[in-house]
Amino acid sequence: MGSGLVALALLAGAPSAVAMEAGGLSVAVTNAMGQAASPQAIAEYRRKLKEYEAARAAFEREAGAYWTSITEKRRGRNAKRRERRPITLDDYVLTQPPAYTGPKQPVSPLPEEEKPPRERRPIPVVADFLKAAAEHFQFAPQRPAAEVDFKRAYARYALAAGLTREQAVRVYAFETGGNGNHDMQSGLSTSRPGSRAISTAVGYNQLLTTNTMVLMAEQGNELIKSLTAKAAALLGPSRQAMEHKLAVLKKMVAFSRSVSGEWSAQEKLASTPQGWGVHAMVLDIDVGPMLQTHKLLTSVHFARTKGHTRPLTAAELEMMNLTGDGTGLDMVTMPQAMREQVPTANFFQRGGYERNPVVSRHNTVAKLLAITDERMDVNSGKPGAKELAAAF
């Protein structure tokens, strides 16, 4: 999700070990074996393969039990919270996930069958969002004349809505690396020719298409109210343009509410061309700052409704931004002494954890928050972050 902790994907499934069958080879493969490898090499390969499979199976049993206990502990914490009972260290798994230390999978001496390359679904980029907005909503977002204009609009709305300068600037610094523009997309960089988008995340707080859809559905009334007030204060062509934007916004909100507010339902809408068109509104100088703000503000409000009255630090807000409000609040409300002891594995599913070197390397809550703060410190000194701070 942006250039911060890109790999904090919570819903990915766990990878499974792939075991090859040593027997039952086809005649064609057997013939190829005789041509490509000696009987001794084949026998040695099969021996090593059995050793690998046995070691990997043992590891999978251990790892499976560990991640099952993570799930069970999470369920227990959720139940205790519903009953308003205190959470203690006993409600977490306090050991680190097992690591595979057995033999590596041997390289087969057999000729491999050629397989067609796996077709990857292309990730839409800003140009696709703009095209979809034009085709499905007859709309082009109003882009800023200069990037600082977007930053000023964001700062005005964020302050009025209740975000602090520190929260907004440090999260921006973390998510964009300290120099991101309003149309920055995760994975793409003008300084890296040939770079590719790794997600649909766009902007200062790196909103995914699904984030935009959810915010439209949840905050639509507030967005419409704000834009209506702006339109009322204008005259002539400016007012006409704002009223057209308002009409488009109403259509987008209605579209986002055509399904339930569940993430999975909104995700399906977000993957359609109409959903791409809605996402283009993130680039608009009037609506974009509101969407960026509410991406963070929903986490602030969530914490308050759960009784967490202390202002969130930027690093704590980022944890909620990246991992989801419920999971993030679990870390945020934890006393420092517990943060030092509780492994980060408690807050992730296995697949997301194993693909994320940041959370596995900084493997306690305290360490993860510390590295987040450290990156915020470094990136806050970069020109884009300084310009945003000045806009406040």
Same domain, 58 and 173: no
Same domain, 372 and 282: yes
Tens of pLDDT along the chain (392 residues) come to 444 544 343 333 333 333 333 344 444 444 444 455 788 999 999 999 999 999 999 999 999 999 999 999 999 999 998 898 999 999 999 999 999 999 999 998 887 777 777 777 889 999 999 999 999 999 999 999 999 999 999 999 999 999 999 999 999 999 999 999 999 999 988 777 888 999 999 999 999 999 999 999 999 999 999 999 999 999 999 999 999 999 999 999 999 999 999 999 999 999 999 999 999 999 999 999 999 999 999 999 999 998 888 899 999 999 998 888 888 999 999 999 999 999 999 999 999 899 888 888 999 999 999 999 999 999 999 999 999 999 99
Q: Is residue 166 part of a domain?
A: yes
- Residue span of the structural domain in which 325 resides: 126-391
Q: Is residue 212 part of a domain?
A: yes
Structure tokens at 157: 């709305």
d(CA 267, CA 389) in angstroms, rounded, equals: 33
Same domain, 160 and 76: no
How many Å is the Cα radius of gyration of the chain? 25
Same domain, 223 and 279: yes
Angle between helices 383-391 and 165-176 (to 10 degrees): 160
Same domain, 230 and 148: yes
Q: Is residue 143 part of a domain?
A: yes
Same domain, 137 and 211: yes
* pLDDT for the residue 178: 95
Same domain, 382 and 263: yes
* pLDDT for the residue 303: 92
d(CA 279, CA 208) in angstroms, rounded, equals: 8
Q: Is residue 55 part of a domain?
A: yes
Looking at the structure of the chain, the number of domains it has is 2
d(CA 314, CA 130) in angstroms, rounded, equals: 31
Q: Is residue 204 part of a domain?
A: yes
* pLDDT for the residue 9: 39
Same domain, 283 and 331: yes
Q: Is residue 15 part of a domain?
A: no
Same domain, 180 and 308: yes
In 3-state terms, what secondary structure has residue 192?
coil
Under 8 Å CB-to-CB from 319, ≥6 apart: which residues? Answer: 328, 331, 332, 368, 369, 372
Same domain, 263 and 386: yes
Looking at residue 162, what DSSP letter applies? T
Q: Is residue 87 part of a domain?
A: yes
* pLDDT for the residue 111: 79
Same domain, 159 and 211: yes
**Number of alpha carbons in the 13 Å side-chain half-sphere of residue 121:** 4
Structure tokens at 169: 């600037």
Under 8 Å CB-to-CB from 83, ≥6 apart: which residues? Answer: none
> CA-based angle 195:196:197, to the nearest 5?
135
Same domain, 343 and 273: yes
Q: Is residue 277 part of a domain?
A: yes
Helices (H), the chain: 27-36, 39-82, 126-137, 147-161, 165-176, 209-232, 236-256, 263-270, 273-279, 288-305, 314-323, 325-332, 336-339, 350-354, 357-361, 365-379, 383-391
User: Of 46, 68, 91, which residue sits at a domain end?
Assistant: 91
User: Of 41, 67, 91, which residue sits at a domain end?
Assistant: 91
User: Of 91, 118, 145, which residue sits at a domain end?
Assistant: 91
d(CA 182, CA 262) in angstroms, rounded, equals: 27
